[in-house]
Amino acid sequence: MIALLTALGTVYTMVPPIREAALRRGFVDRPSPRKIHREPIPLMGGLAIYAGCMAALYILIGWTPLTAALGIGGAALVATGLVDDAYKTKGREFPVWPRVIVYAAVSAVPLWFGIDIAGIRFGGEGMWMFGDIASAAATMLWIFAMINMMNFIDGVDGLASGIAVISSLTLLVVALLKGQDATAAAAAIVAGGALGFLAYNFYPAKMFMGDAGATFLGFALAVIAVDGTLKSATVLSVFVPLLALGVPIMDTAIVFSRRLLSGRGLHRADKLHTHHSLLHWGLTQRQTVSFLYLIGAVFSLLSILFLLTLG
């Protein structure tokens, strides 16, 4: 609770001055045919989320391998995201390949600190250990995917930040059930940081997190999942983090399937996301986000029940 409230208070306090700075500099997300908002909204919210979470991590946990991985990888993602967001303020799109290269490099950062998917246990004491290459590949693929998946769902006011709260609280409960105190504290900090930002991001949003915030949250959740549940998971317990992060995974699977069927590039921005479909069916932004929160909560409960069933 202390970890969650510390991050919440820090981010909540940091957003107003950063928002004012964004407005003064014209660092705003301008409306476009693909966007839902009709007025320019300040970006740079990701900077507040990152700074607030890292401050809480350093104060409460110290400079551990987990803190270092989140700090270094997160800094690279926030810097890249701010460049991407700067392009948006000018009505332009940042090229996709530089982002892919950075995301791939950042996905390897936790490996430097011994945070990886080491192997799979098959019940009892037996465990199939991955080789170095397989361990690195599995870890990087999971982190790279979550960075992008969280970024994909950041299309409606409060959606990405709210789902991050639900997912991180689930990882918090899972870590507590497994007796992983440091991982639980990190999950609580991410939950608090996302919740502090959600106060400004829920419809009608006063601030956007931008790519800087969405990619950092996806990275943080993925790394915390590896540090906890996935580090030496059983075959069945792999489903625990998959369910905990079920909404972004579900949305990405739906979008990629629709893009493949329509012959579009997988990386091309469009209006095929789940939240776009719900809005097209007549739901308001509040109703759309609330419905997806409910789906996220169901996934999270299933994740916890699944873990308890496994014993």
189-220 pLDDT tens trace = 999 999 999 999 999 999 999 999 999 999 99
In the chain, count H helices and then E strands: 13, 5
Q: How many CB atoms lie within 10 A of CB 238?
A: 14
Q: Are 11 and 52 spatial neighbours (Cβ–Cβ below 8 Å)?
A: yes
Tell me how far apart the alpha carbons of residues 273 and 189 are, in angstroms, rounded to a whole number: 28
Structure tokens at 109: 């950062």
**Structure confidence at residue 267 (pLDDT):** 57
Tell me how far apart the alpha carbons of residues 30 and 39 are, in angstroms, rounded to a whole number: 7
Radius of gyration of the chain (CA): 18
Give the residue carrying structure tokens 């997988």: 266
Q: Which of 206, 179, 204, 176 lies closest to 191, judged by CA?
A: 176
Q: Are 108 and 69 spatial neighbours (Cβ–Cβ below 8 Å)?
A: no
Helices 132-152, 159-177: axis angle to 10 degrees equals 140
* Segment 214-239, tens digit of pLDDT: 999 999 999 999 998 777 666 667 88
Lowest mean pLDDT among 164-168, 208-212, 268-272, 297-301: 268-272
* Segment 85-122, tens digit of pLDDT: 999 888 788 888 999 999 999 999 999 999 998 777 66
Comparing 258 with 268, the larger pLDDT belongs to: 258
Q: Are 56 and 9 spatial neighbours (Cβ–Cβ below 8 Å)?
A: no
* Segment 31-52, tens digit of pLDDT: 665 555 567 899 899 999 999 9
Tell me how far apart the alpha carbons of residues 308 and 305 are, in angstroms, rounded to a whole number: 5
Tell me how far apart the alpha carbons of residues 21 and 15 are, in angstroms, rounded to a whole number: 10
**Cis peptide bond N-terminal to 204, omega within 30:** yes
Comparing 265 with 256, the larger pLDDT belongs to: 256
Q: Which of 57, 244, 68 lies closest to 150, judged by CA?
A: 244
Task: Give the residue extent of every domain in the chain.
Answer: 2-310
